[in-house]
Amino acid sequence: MFCDKLRKKIKALLRQFDSYIEANVDTALKVTTSLKAILSSPVAEILTAIIPSDVDEFVRAKLVYGLGVAINGLNIVSECKGAITLEDRLKCFVAEIKKRNPELQEALLAKLASILARTLDDEKKAQHVYDLFVQAKYSAEK
């Protein structure tokens, strides 16, 4: 009984996804996958390294905006709030993520991807819808 209701709710949520949301999630996951790679191999300019080179300027601007929103929203440490530029906040964010255990790193990056996906989709749906889709897509690719 409970499982049937849960299954119906999940199916209803999954029907809300369209190809545009899926493309946004794919782009967001590319960013967080690049960010994860930086955790083990630092680069000079994080922002340039994590935004896919094949996106147009409009999408790039949304990603930059979304990264700022996400880093402020995730707020894993108060020290990052003192950083003025997005690049400095990203460096602080990466430095703090490195201090966390791998499971927490994965969780933070997944949440970052879902916030970016929502930003790319002009925040048309509730955050939990993007959380679910990112988690499903990420799990399917693992």
- State how far the alpha carbon of 21 is from the alpha carbons of 41, 97, 138, in Å: 30, 27, 14
The pLDDT of residue 62 is 95
The pLDDT of residue 88 is 92
Please state the pTM of the whole predicted model.
0.81
Task: Name the DSSP class of 100.
Answer: S
The pLDDT of residue 103 is 93
Cα Rg, the chain, nearest whole Å? 16
Reduced to 3 states, what is the DSSP secondary structure of residue 142? Answer: coil
Angle, vertex CA 117, rays to CA 41 and CA 14, nearest 5: 125
Q: What is the C-alpha separation between 105 and 23, in angstroms, rounded? A: 23
The pLDDT of residue 20 is 66
Contacts of 40 (CB under 8 A, 6+ apart): none
Task: Give domain limits for the chain.
Answer: 2-141
Q: What is the C-alpha separation between 53 and 50, in angstroms, rounded? A: 9
| Per-position pLDDT tens, the chain of length 142 | 566 776 777 667 666 666 667 788 889 999 999 999 988 887 889 999 999 999 999 999 999 999 999 988 887 777 787 888 999 999 999 999 999 999 999 999 999 999 999 999 999 999 998 998 898 888 777 6
The pLDDT of residue 110 is 94
The pLDDT of residue 57 is 94
The pLDDT of residue 2 is 63
